[in-house]
Amino acid sequence: MPTDHVTRRGMLQGGAALAAAPAILSQAQAAAPRTGKGAPMIPVELTVNGREVHVPVDPRTSLLDMLREHLHLTGTKKGCDHGQCGACTVIVEGRRINSCLTLAVMHDGERVTTIEGLGTPDRLHPMQKAFIVHDGYQCGYCTPGQICSAVAVLEEIEAGIPSHVTADLDDVAVNEAELRERMSGNICRCAAYPNIIAAMRDVAGEKQA
């Protein structure tokens, strides 16, 4: 494979990593070779954490980059950027998804909830509180994704959605095996897993009471 290909890719990757400001993104876009019709900015309207936002984006912008770079909601984290780690998990139209593997333009008109929308430092969501009580994190980088996922997992169980470890597909309940399986899309490098499960069981217990 020609080395010029590798170099060009390396440059683009470096460029993408540096492109914190939208201004740089649009410069990169202007410099990009245009084969077809080119890619004009597209206006996107979303409700993020209850607030309506209007943002013009390059069609390439992932929902994750839009949240972080355009709306400065940096609670949602970029880990692998390939759907493998779960750090970017947010809740869209009531469902948890990897915000790195979806385009902002695909969510025009939809409702997004990020960690900032679940609770605030003085009004914590019960799951946030439980993560603190049970020490559900160490470095904290994966935590926003873990918490968004954990909140959605309990709702999925309540809705009767089965999982890989559900013995009888029609009998879905909260238990340790279920929570571990359902949280497998959220990797924690500090391995805070037992405490995350403890936090979730705590919240699930409160709900059932």
Q: Pattern of binders to other proteins over 46-85, x per CB under 8 A?
A: ------------xxx-x------------------xxx--
Residue 84 binds ligand FAD, judged by CB under 6 A? yes
CA distance 190 to 33: 42
Check binding of 179 to other proteins (CB under 8 A).
Answer: no
For residues 71 and 54, the answer to whether their CB atoms sit within 8 Å is: no
Cα–Cα separations (whole angstroms), residue 170 to 40, 88, 116, 151, 175: 48, 31, 34, 22, 15
Nearer to ligand FAD, 88 or 127 (CB): 88
Distance in Å, CB of 159 to other proteins, minimum: 8
Q: How far is CA 119 from CA 24, 89, 128, 190, in A?
A: 32, 16, 8, 24
CA atoms within 13 A on the CB side of 123: 4
47, 56 contact by CB (below 8 A): no
Provide, rounded to whole angstroms, the least separation between the CB of residue 123 and other proteins: 26
Residues near other proteins (CB under 8 A): 1, 5-6, 9, 16, 29, 32-40, 42, 58-60, 62, 81-83, 86, 89, 95-98, 101-103, 105-106, 108, 149, 152-153, 156, 159-164, 166, 169-170, 180-182, 184-186
Residues near ligand FAD (CB under 6 A): 83-84
